[in-house]
Amino acid sequence: MSVEVKIPAVGESITSGIVSVWHKKSGDFVNAGDALFTLETDKVSTEIAAEISGVLDTIVPEGQEVKIGEVVATIDDSKKAPAAKPAEEKAAAKSETKTAAPPKEKSADAKTASPARTLSPAVRRIVDEEHLNPEKISGTGPGGRLTKADALTAAQNRGASEKKIDIEPATAGPSVGGQLADGRFVRKKMSPLRRKIAAQLVMAQHTAAILTTFNECDMSAVQELRAKSQEAFTKKHGVKLGFMSFFIKASVEALKAVPVVNGRIEDEDFIQNNFYDIGVAVGTERGLVVPIVRDADKKSFADLERDIANYATKAREGKLKIEDLTGGTFTISNGGVYGSLLSTPILNPPQSGILGMHKIMPRPTAVDGKVEVRPMMYLALSYDHRAIDGKEAVSFLIKVKECIEDPKKLPLDF
């Protein structure tokens, strides 16, 4: 009998996703547990596995948006796996493979040959989104296998070649990679994740009364404390002491002082959160994600730094799970790592507040009636004015400033 493959619920507030890539094709025999396809949502990519063994029949194509509960394929469990080749046939095939090319030629061709190249899910996503031909990419992994870095490099190199089109005579027609170019511009489809992020940001602007208030803080005390404690901290905990843990601690103290910033509006109700799950925005080559540091008020500086480091690694490798990204009460975004001096961060719905950190810049400032050059950082708090008044927003930001400029006000546990 045929069993339906439906889009499962993958997290709160997620009602749809995009089938970005099929890992198995119609007519393929799949085993229970095999990855069938990758589902892209506005939060994370999730591989959906087969629940039973049988022959797959896909219903929706790659790139199509689907709703939770929608049937996207069927698996006929009445059909059995094809019979395996006899041992002698396998041995003969293996022998032919070894003698097909001299050793020297094999090392040169291994990176570009392989008619049926096996790609990891992360590499497959990049190849499909960027419309790359994997057979034309040199692999640097074991046995010429394509790595994520190989795919990203190929996409960047192609992007550089596309820029040359802008200064050459225009001749309309398709360009390499299935993209349309007329000499003055190149048109290509946005990636599924980028489209969902775009929709989420527009929704945030349309559903909240977003306002931003600014302040600045002197980073001298934190820099001095960090430099003084770094060696012992790293030796004791096996992780470096960064600035983000200070700002998470300062934000928790500010949220306790101004609780309304830690809440959210739901229909006609206001939900006041009495826990502190802080989202930390992490940039990846595929877009911005916001993993959640759970119970930040109960964690030490070392625990916070470990969580941040682990999430950063998982984000870069595409291994974040949906539970890593849902349920936060407040978010911190650090544009300073990219050189941003000042910005207005956008809310992460349904949260009511987000703190923006920025680049540390030496600037002249008045200290006890004298002008001194200090390492200064601009701070920005964007908030939902429907729930939070200006006085409360300013009070929150001043509390953060006070904790950063006088770290002794934080629960230091080095």
Catalytic residue positions, numbered = 385, 389
SS (H, E, C) the chain: CEEEEECCCCCCCCCEEEEEEECCCCCCEECCCCEEEEEECCCCEEEEECCCCEEEEECCCCCCEEECCCEEEEEECCCCCCCCCCHHHHHHHHHHHHHCCCHHHHHHHCCCCCCCCCCCHHHHHHHHHCCCCHHHCCCCCHHHCCCHHHHHHHHHHHHHHHHHHCCCCCCCEEECCCEEECCCCEECCCCHHHHHHHHHHHHHHHHCCEEEEEEEEECHHHHHHHHHHHHHHHHHHCCCCCCHHHHHHHHHHHHHHCHHHHEEEECCEEEECCCCCEEECEEECCEEECCEECCHHHCCHHHHHHHHHHHHHHHHCCCCCHHHCCCCCEEEEEHHHHCCCCCCCCCCCCCCEEEEECCCEEEEEEECCEEEEEEEEEEEEEEECCCCCHHHHHHHHHHHHHHHHCHHHCCCCC
